[in-house]
Structure 1
Amino acid sequence: MKRILFAVLITVLWVTSAYAGGDLYLYIWSEYIPDEVVQSFTKETGIQVHLSTYDSNEAMYAKVKLAGQGYDLIVPSSDYVSLMRQQELLLPLDKSKLTNFANLDSKFVNQSFDPENIFSVPYMWGSTSITVNTGKIDEHAVTSVADLWKPELSGKLLLPNEPRETFTLALKLLGYSVNETNPAHLEEAYQKLRELFPHVKVFDSDSPKQALLSGEVAVGVVFNGEAFIANQEDSAITYVYPPEGYSLWLDSLCIPKGAKNVDEAHAFINYLLRPDISAIISAEMGYATPNAKAIPLVPENVHNNVIVYPTQDIIARGEFQDWIGDAMKLYDEYWVKLKTNE
């Protein structure tokens, strides 16, 4: 028994000495990690976490590619994991330092965007769909993607401030994939969005729930975690999974090539993979955890809430985003035209 206690003590002292006074520069989506998790990690390891945020994959990618260094950990969605892996912008992970990796549900690992998870570790998954403030409009006014084009919603609508999620609306309305690359189909989607954009009051991927809660808009296309938090504050705010379909996404933890604090990054990833920590993150942020061992620890009011954990029949209507290669240039070109009203 004394030997076991001595071994545990040595391990604790090694972890403390190895990381005491260390730093970690985390670049993550806005409102995507609880302060208490960051603080408890620092208390446990001595590593100071310096947190910066972004509101779109495009913004994160551009900054990481341009800066080359400055961040130790980023959280791209699956399509951008694929892109950054192909462009050699990510460092391979040392799985020997990720002892909690085995806690992940097998259906979220070894995906096509990163076979064998050489460069990425699943963090959270969720959806982007329609949120309605039924205190402002009739609860049956918006039940489908097609309803967003209703004239009575003019000046009452919020859309994401990024091309992929916004194009998903038009693509699904037209019966196409969220990963559409056919130029003719993208032209159709662009024309549909040209009809919609003049009626949009707010573009926000940072904290769109605020506009819904304040009544500035009545309908928004938002991340499900934003909808969950808004619903907790105002039960009149509901989340709609439209019959035409919607986008699903998986965000992952990655170490960019220019990282200076690689050991600290591994320590933080492993910490986030702890079941108790993953459960806290899911409960507070309102997104689903890919951590199988964490699911029993997620409070019932969160785990049983379809905004956070949709049923299998709802999931079947969703579609995960993949990287679309050179077609992304066309999305970006159309996006600029839409935002500048060309």
Structure 2
Amino acid sequence: MKKLIAIFVGILVVCAVITGINYQMNAKTTANEKKVLNIYNWGDYIDPALITKFEKETGYHVVYETFDSNEAMLTKIKQGGTSYDLAVPSDYTVQRMIKSGLVAKIDKTKLSNYHNLDSRFLNLSFDPNNDYSVPYFWGTLGIVYNDQYVKASQVQHWEQLWNPAFKQSIMLTDSARDMLGIALITQGHGMNDTDETDLKNAQTKLKQLMPNVKAIVADEIKMYMKQNEAKIAVTYSGEAAEMMSYNHHLHYVVPTEGSNMWFDNMVIPKTAKHKVAAYAFINFMLSPKNAAQNAEYIGYSTPNKAAMKYLPTSVQQDKQFYPTESTVAHLEVYQDLPLKVIGNYNDLFLGFKMSK
């Protein structure tokens, strides 16, 4: 009997030890989970050194995933398979996410560096009062040209792209809103136009441009322009900056009659599990030196006014990427248009591409 009791006691001791080990392992796992930050951002859209710096300063482990379109990002967040703590949608997508109840309100009292932001880039139409978003980068849509083949005076305005002298010379970025928007501007309309007749006329205008179009592409546009394989490209300011850093014959122009001014923004999805970490990262990126470092690495324009003094003078004074007030006054931010209108844009743009 004593032997049975001894065995039973031994079993209890072993169970207790195993339970203790499991408890410690679970406690460690829980602690590690709390030190995680899940970020969902565009590809190649942050200086990796800043992630390392943030991890060292805070002890958080950053899990970084990327997307290649606002639509892909929005779909994944809607599905809810992964609980991202921070995402970086563009302006009109922020508006769509707010309407869909996908993002949490921003508590600005937790962002001691918020005051570093330029007031010109706050309280915009897609998120009045910035209740749900914090600016990350901004930029423009414009024209890149190669001075070996094109004079600056030939590409100061959108209408000049239709010059017959540019036959098979222009690369277009594969975007319905951007390309139809350009055509709309040449016809005296805004880039958020929803009128069916105006959009149809814009498609007709685009089709007239087709003889000058060499290709309609996405990221490949950078490679083609770097290698002098096209004379002109319609692309974004950050893409232009990267091209220009490789090829000194390339230059960027924002037509003064109007263009798109876009904003990418940091938001906290409602499903975020590590909001303290998300606020820590946003505040980290709002630090002037960190914002300047990121802007130099990426090539897009920073909305952080306090960061400007840490950028090279040549960058601060570059009107291609920090346009004058008069040019900015004619730039438009995309609005979240009704799905039916977006479908119309896409159908018309597809019709244009098929006409090549």
From 156, 172, 175, the equivalent of 1:143 is 156
Counterpart pick for 1:210 among 199, 223, 227: 223
State TM-score, norm by structure 1: 0.85
Paired with 1:77 and 1:318, the residues of 2 have a C-alpha distance of 16
3-state SS, counterpart of residue 293 of structure 1: helix
3-state SS in 2 of match to 1:238:
strand
**Higher CA-based Rg:** 2
Following TM superposition, by how much is the alpha carbon of 1:152 offset from its aligned partner in structure 2, in angstroms?
A: 4.0
| Structure 1 residue aligned with 2:345 | 331
Q: Does 1:111 align with 2:124?
A: yes
Aligned residue in 2 for 1:244: 257
- Unaligned segments of structure 2, at least 5 residues: 1-29
* Cα distance change of structure 1 residues 80 and 244 upon mapping to structure 2, 3 Å threshold: same
Are 1:102 and 2:112 counterparts?
Answer: no
Q: Which piece of structure 1 moves more, 212-221 or 195-204?
A: 195-204
Q: Percent identity?
A: 36
Amino acid at match of 1:80: T
Shift of 1:34: 1.3
Question: Does residue 196 of structure 2 align to residue 157 of structure 1?
Answer: no
Could you tell me whether the CA contact under 8 Å between 2:116 and 2:305 is conserved in 1?
A: yes
Q: Aligned to 1:26, what secondary structure does the other structure show?
A: strand
Q: Which amino acid aligns with 1:317?
A: H
319-328 or 184-193: bigger deviation: 319-328
Residue identity opposite 1:338 in structure 2: F
Q: Secondary structure at the match of 1:159?
A: strand
Of the three residues 181, 202, 223, the one matched with 1:168 is 181
Structure 1 unaligned blocks of 5 or more: 1-16
How far 1:246 sits from its partner (Å)? Answer: 1.3
Is the CA contact (8 Å cut-off) linking 2:36 and 2:60 kept in structure 1? yes
Q: Which moved more, 1:282-291 or 1:148-157?
A: 148-157
- For residues 41 and 215 of structure 2, the distance between their equivalents in structure 1, rounded to whole angstroms, comes to 23
Aligned to 1:256: 269
* Alpha-carbon offset, residue 106 of structure 1: 2.2
> Normalized per residue, which structure has more helix?
2
Residue of structure 1 in register with 2:75 after alignment: 62
- 4+ residue runs over 6 A deviation: 17-21
What's the offset of the Cα at 1:224?
0.8
Q: Which position in structure 2 is the counterpart of 1:191?
A: 204
Q: 2 CA distance for matches of 1:68 and 1:217?
A: 42
1:64 and 1:196 map into 2 onto residues whose CA distance is 38
Question: CA, structure 1 residues 66+169, in 2 after alignment: closer, same or farther (shift >3 Å)?
Answer: farther
Match of 1:201 among 204, 214, 218: 214
Cα distance in 2 for partners of 1:202, 1:276 equals 39
CA drift of 1:197 comes to: 4.5
C-alpha separation in 2, matches of 1:293 and 1:19: 34
**Deviation at residue 68 of structure 1 after TM alignment:** 5.4
Separation (CA, whole Å) in 2 of partners of 1:230 and 1:338: 27
**Are 2:256 and 2:327, in contact at CA under 8 Å, matched by a contact in 1?**
no
**Which whole-Å deviations, capped at 9, do the CAs of 1:174-211 have from their partners, x for residues lacking one?**
11101111111111112222333465334344363222
Matched, 1:31 2:44: yes
> Cα 1:306–1:175, aligned 2, differ >3 Å: closer, same or farther?
same
Q: Distance in 2 between matches of 1:55 and 1:147?
A: 31
TM-score (norm 2): 0.82
Alpha-carbon distance change, 62 to 338 in structure 1, aligned in 2, over 3 angstroms: farther
Match of 1:85 in 2: 98
Letter in 1 for 2:203: Y
- Range that drifts further, 321-330 or 170-179: 321-330
Q: How does 1:217-232 map to 2 (within 5 A)?
A: 217-232=230-245
Whichever residue aligns with residue 351 of structure 2, its letter is: K
The CA deviation string for residues 110-153 of structure 1, in whole angstroms up to 9 with x for no partner, is 22321222210011111111111122444444332122223443
1:265 maps to what in 2? 278
Note if contact 1:30-1:54 (Cα within 8 Å) is conserved in structure 2.
yes
Aligned pairs, how many? 326
Q: Tell me the amino acid that sits aligned with residue 101 of structure 1.
A: Y
Q: Look up the SS of the partner of 2:305 in the other structure.
A: coil
